[in-house]
Structure 1
Amino acid sequence: MRLPLGTGTVDVSLPDCEVRTVGRPGGTAVDPAVAAREALDDPHGPALSELVAPDDDVTVVVTDVTRATPDGTLIDAMVERLPVGRDRLSILVGLGLHRPMTDAELHEGLGEYADLATNHDPEATVEVGRVRGVGDDSVAVRVHPLVADADRVLSTGLVEPHQYAGFSGGAKTVAIGAGDDSLIGYTHGPDVLADPGVRLGRIDDNPFRGTVDRAGDAVGLDFCLNVTKGPGGILDASAGRPREVVADLAATARAALSVSMDGADTYDAVVGGVGAPKDATLYQTTRAATYLCLGDHDPVRPGGRVVLPARLQEGAGQGAGERRFYDRLRSASDAQSLYESMRSGYDPGAQRAFVVARALRDADVYVTNSEHPAVVEECLMRAADRVEDAVDPGSRVLVVPDALNTLLVEG
């Protein structure tokens, strides 16, 4: 079999094992440029030409290098319909607590619009309001000045399965991507993440998603252009009011990416494909493990293992959130004690260590083929040279070639 590794692939052979490979998720790929223009011509709510005046200052918040969003294509389609010149257009890269994008990455992702782009700085934000969180909680919403001071705020986004938001995209690009420790820390804290409504693939009655959507209202996010994707490429685009865009594309993604599983069927090892851009860091790569173990159907038997081939050319990751994730895991003696200690709270960014610890209580995680095996070993996980070295002979093995874009559901 062939699995993704970085921008390429790696061949894997497990002749001594009983192997089942789930069918690759469905969906028919479309031309992103065509889909974006069609979405903008039939938006949820008013069109861009009705929302934006010629003298408005417009900020578009875009995704960063950790998302496979065709941002340059989406901005190009927006600009065709915006009644403002380049002198009134700003682009903010929604980093959240991730590392800044390099000049080369900006040019690759944004093309001719790279010179308009600014990397978000979570240390330089201004408050635009407060929103209701879970129960009676109230949380401050602070965003980059380019967002706070704009007459109109627009965004791009990728609606894909997300451990906390159910599906990413919509207001999340702005509220989290252009935000700071206040909202990020609250939504990614143990009280929110422990709520049973916070789960992969769920947007209705999800307190994480609800808080982020309300934060988008406080920011004044007027319009978004989002896409969703499958293993073959972009599946669809949707534009307009953020909540409706997410609901629209989540339905498309759910139909294309869901694989029905027998609730009693578990495996000694589950091999998950990751690939670029997510397998550049351990922080992002571990999404595959938690998506598999903490989704609607957990295919790993108790005491089994998840095996992830990943390049990890950036090690654990270079942003503030990635460093907090790394520090939490490498300083822990075991997963159970780390999980229990983090239930009382943690800094924003460390939430990935919290959910990884939750998964590690029941399964081992192996990362293979990486450039930084020592980093893996420091973080309560195990490193191996090849997938074959991480799977015991005679194991029952489930292979999920695109683990981040496959929803294993009971059915």
Structure 2
Amino acid sequence: MTTNIKTIPVAFGSGIFELSIPDKNISSIILPSEPETKGERTCLIKKALENPIKSKRLSEIVNPDSRIAIIVSDVTRPTPTDKILPPLLEELYLGGANRKNITIVFALGLHRLQTEEECRRLVGKEVFESIRCIQHDRERCRHIGDTSFGTPVEIFEEVLDSDLIISTGTLEFHYYAGYGGGGKAILPGVSSEKAILSFHSFYSKVFEGAPLSGRNDSPARQNIEEASKIAGLGFMLNVVINSKKEIVAATAGDFIAAHRKGAEYVDAMYKVPVEPADAVIVSCGGFPKDINLYQATKSLENAIPAVKKGGSIVLVAECSEGIGDRVYERWNSECKTPCEAVEKFRECFEFGGHKAAIVGKAAKEFKLYLVSKLPEAESRNAFFIPAKSVEEALEKILSDNPEAKIHVMPNGGWTLPVKR
């Protein structure tokens, strides 16, 4: 009897794997409901800036003396900052803003410093050479208050010293904050290490509860927005991108109201009802979503609702920069079992260790495979079964259960399956 084989392209870093899977084993290909696009739609950004939500236009807010800080994403995010900045700057110039008074700030959070070439590529050559661009410095933050969650609001002084703070970014699902974007550019984006660690420490109290991804009422989102109000975030411009990293929606204005509108776009496109299957093969969607294992675990979490308990998850993530966090790497070495990682996290929050606990929690419920460039020992330390290819992982799943029904998620970094 002939077995019909389906070939599905799966992103891996900046390249593509071709996954060959028997038709009879495919439960579904979980894809977002993306609108048709014809190349970049920067006109959506201009339209959003001309029709801000619960806010005046930027051109009505600024004047020639306004000192302006524009917060932008770092290299770990897929934000098309080079497409966002030209219409944003045009709107500021329309109000008389002086480019000498504008500073672009890369929101690093606790991430590494970027190279000059990375900074230039992110904002575009012309902007990089005409506007002052600096990177967030966790050592140069001022304390200006505290949120009701007890998180100190300690913000990079270059941001605080401006008359107008503008946040930019990509609106997408986030495992802890519900969604990215909005005030997340402030906390953790340009906050002190103490503030960021305080912000993340609450995750140890909620990580074993109901999933928070795709929810606006998460404690982290509330904490973010309290901190952003205290910091004086004056305006936001966020985009929603598709799996090709093209802009498909944009919202601007009040950083809460405009964020909620953007979340509606994300939900409509990326929440996909599913029946849990025996296994799921999930790609992060390629670079930069799979730049390291720290970032790739977000796609692992997104895939969990699509799998029956006891099933298998195959995470396809290049991890060209390795684990991506020293603490996460240390926890992987120190915690010998998934249970040990979860128990340790319950007792002692340590930023970076939360990733070991997240994967440990998943490894207690599912069989986890990892297709990556990590050494096999590192994959095993992180509670994954290493596989050299997607086919190798698939063979192992089918050898255990030849009739297994399998979901394929080509865009795990963006897509959120929701149980029917």
TM superposition score normalised by structure 2: 0.89
1:12-411 alignment runs, 5 A limit: 12-15=19-22, 18-28=25-35, 30=37, 31-44=40-53, 45-82=55-92, 83-111=96-124, 112-115=126-129, 116-133=132-149, 138-189=150-201, 190-194=203-207, 196=209, 199-203=212-216, 205-232=217-244, 233-262=246-275, 265-267=276-278, 269-274=279-284, 275-293=286-304, 298-317=305-324, 322-370=325-373, 372-391=375-394, 392-393=397-398, 394=402, 395-411=404-420
CA deviations on 1:284-336 (whole Å, 9 max, x unpaired) are 1111111222xxxx22233322112222111111xxxx211221122111111
Change (3 A) 1:76 1:181: same
Pairwise CA distance, 1:191: 4.7
Unaligned runs of 5+ in 1: none
Deviation by residue 1:96-134 (Cα, 9 ceiling, x = unmatched)? 11111221211111112225221212233211221112x
Conserved? CA contact 1:97–1:349, under 8 Å: no
* Alpha-carbon distance between aligned partners in 2 of 1:345 and 1:43, rounded to the nearest angstrom: 43
CA contact (8 A) 1:213 1:243 kept: yes
CA distance in 2, matches of 1:123, 1:361: 39
For the pair shown, the structure with the greater C-alpha radius of gyration is 2
CA drift of 1:347 comes to 2.5
Residue 58 to residue 404, structure 1, CA distance change in 2 (3 Å): same
Secondary structure in structure 1 of the residue aligned to 2:238: strand
Question: For 1:141, what is the secondary structure of its paired residue?
Answer: strand
Deviations 1:140-189 (A, max 9, x none): 11111111211111111111011111111000012211012333222322
CA distance in 1, matches of 2:50, 2:117: 32
**Displacement after TM superposition at 1:369 (Å):** 4.2
Q: More displaced, 150-159 or 354-363?
A: 354-363
Counterparts of 1:64 and 1:385, CA distance in 2: 30
Q: SS at the partner of 1:175?
A: coil
CA distance 1:372–1:37, change in 2 (3 Å):
farther
In structure 1, what residue type is equivalent to 2:134? Answer: T
Structure 2 portions without partners, runs of 5+: 1-7
Partner of 2:4: none
Letter in 1 for 2:49: L
Q: Secondary structure at the match of 1:132?
A: coil
SS for the counterpart of 2:119 is helix
Q: CA deviation at 1:11?
A: 0.7
Q: Give the secondary-structure state (helix, strand or coil) at the position aligned to 1:228.
A: strand
SS at match of 2:64: coil
> What CA deviation, in whole Å up to 9, does each residue of 1:48-69 have, x standing for no partner?
1222232121111101111111
TM-score by length of 1: 0.91
For the Cα contact (< 8 Å) 1:26–1:230, is it kept in 2?
Answer: no
Contact 1:141 1:182 in 2 (8 A): no
CA contact under 8 A between 1:198 and 1:207: conserved in structure 2? no
1:277 is displaced (CA, Å) by 0.7
Partners in 2 of 1:168 and 1:304 — Cα distance? 29
Give secondary structure in 1 for the equivalent of 2:191.
coil
Quote the Cα distance in structure 1 between the aligned partners of 2:47 and 2:355: 36
* Root-mean-square deviation over aligned CA pairs: 1.9
* Equivalent pair of 2:242/2:248 in contact (CA under 8 Å): yes
